[in-house]
Amino acid sequence: MSRKTRDNLRAYLFVSPWLISLLVFTAYPMLASFYFSMTRYTIVRPPVWIGLENFRVMFTKDDLFWVAVWNTLYYTVVSVPLQMLVALFLATLLNLSTRGIGFYRTAFYLPALVPAVVTTLLWMLILDPRAGLANAALEAVGLPKLGWMYSVAWSKPSLIIIALWTGVGQPMLIFLAGLKNVPQSLLEAAIIDGTNAWQRYWRVIIPLLTPTIFFNLLITLIASFQVFTTAFVATASASGASPAGPLNSMLVYMVHLYRQGFSYFAMGYASAMAVVLFLVLVVLTLILVRSSREWVHYEGASPR
């Protein structure tokens, strides 16, 4: 046995757990999802091939599918940019502040640690339509009370508020680290060039931060499309048949998929939904990666 073969064998012994994982828990389920998506499958009986029927039903017959698509898009399009902006804003403030960073950093990050079930229940209490803390605050400043999770108009904003409370801490810490990494020499050079703080922020700091912004955006976007626990707990009423929030206004994609797959055991249909979401996310990721060439500046790379 040559030295090279022996080295290879030894290395593959080391990576073998991960190879098995890639095959059994990634590659196989991915392929199987595509296969199941073209079958009628209730798990108790073997899958029956029905071609694209699941997709036809999904796009033309299942009204709730489109409700779920709309709700998820609404949730994502509003919450992701807000999360990014608030996280960046807070990190910027923290970077400017001279004292108390530890305290504020902890305050903004703690909600990210709270289990999602707890977070959801807590906000259901705060957003109680009769006398929750949020409505008490509105009333105190002379505004009308809101129905929050019990109103079609405010149920999705309720979910978004929860996403903000819990989802800002992590990107904020990452942004803060990125800001601390901005080389002092560049800032000093910009000062000598006679720029003011505002210009320095937009022309020096933000461009240097674009890789971090890109990373946070991608991660948050993928997670947001797959939001589950918050919407599930907020709308739970044991049976899958009841609407998820008023007029299903909190029925997000993953909750619909979960109900199809695990309440009705329509595994084929749920797989088809998974495949659609997967393809959408792949396309979105590719678009984002492609667009990043235009707006993400990597250190060492020459500017376009």
Partner 1 sequence: MTGVYKGQRSNAMKVQKLLGQGVVHGLLFSISLLFLIPLWWLFVTSIKPLDQILTIPPIWWPQPPQWENYVAALTSPAFPFWRLMGNTLFYCVTSTIGTVVSSAVVAYAFARMRFTGRDLLFGITLATLLLPGVVTLIPTYVLFQRMGLVGTYAPLIIPYFFGSAFNIFLLRQFMLTIPVELSDAAYVDGAGDFLILWRIMVPLVKPALIVVAIFNFIYAWNDFLGPLLYLDDSSRYPLSIGLYAFRTRFALQWNLITAAALAITIPLIAAFFVLQRYFIEGVTLTGLKG
The distance of closest approach from Cβ of residue 44 to partner 1 in the complex, given in angstroms and rounded to an integer, is 10
CA dist 285 and 222 (Å) reads 8
DSSP symbol at 196 = -
The distance of closest approach from Cβ of residue 60 to partner 1 in the complex, given in angstroms and rounded to an integer, is 22
Query: What does R_g of the chain's alpha carbons equal in angstroms?
Result: 24
- Residues β-bridged to residue 149: none
Q: Which is nearer to partner 1, 32 or 52 (CB)?
A: 32
Distances (CA, A) of 246 to 30, 155, 284: 34, 8, 30
The distance of closest approach from Cβ of residue 66 to partner 1 in the complex, given in angstroms and rounded to an integer, is 18
Candidate segments 60-68, 134-142, 146-154, 293-301, binder of partner 1 by CB under 8 A: 134-142
Q: Which is nearer to partner 1, 39 or 155 (CB)?
A: 39
Check binding of 10 to partner 1 (CB under 8 A). yes
Which string of x and - marks every residue 34-53 that binds partner 1 (by CB under 8 A)? --x------x----------
Going 23 to 26 to 27 to 28, the CA torsion angle's sign is positive
Check binding of 100 to partner 1 (CB under 8 A). yes
Binding-site member from 58, 84, 90, 231 for partner 1 (CB under 8 A)? 90
CA dist 52 and 40 (Å) reads 10
Check binding of 117 to partner 1 (CB under 8 A). yes
Binding-site member from 94, 163, 204, 244 for partner 1 (CB under 8 A)? 94
Binding-site member from 248, 270, 292, 296 for partner 1 (CB under 8 A)? 270
The distance of closest approach from Cβ of residue 234 to partner 1 in the complex, given in angstroms and rounded to an integer, is 11
Binding-site member from 83, 88, 157, 178 for partner 1 (CB under 8 A)? 178
Binding-site member from 55, 104, 150, 201 for partner 1 (CB under 8 A)? 104
Distances (CA, A) of 213 to 15, 81, 175, 292: 32, 11, 8, 10
Kindly tell me the number of DSSP H helices and DSSP E strands found in the chain: 15, 2
Count residues contacting partner 1 (CB under 8 A)?
A: 98
Check binding of 103 to partner 1 (CB under 8 A). yes
CA angle 141, 146, 147 (to 5 degrees): 160
Distances (CA, A) of 84 to 71, 88, 152: 20, 6, 26
| Binders of partner 1 in range 244-263 (CB under 8 A) | 254, 257-258, 261-262
CB 169 within 8 A of CB 111: yes
Candidate segments 72-80, 112-120, 243-251, 293-301, binder of partner 1 by CB under 8 A: 112-120
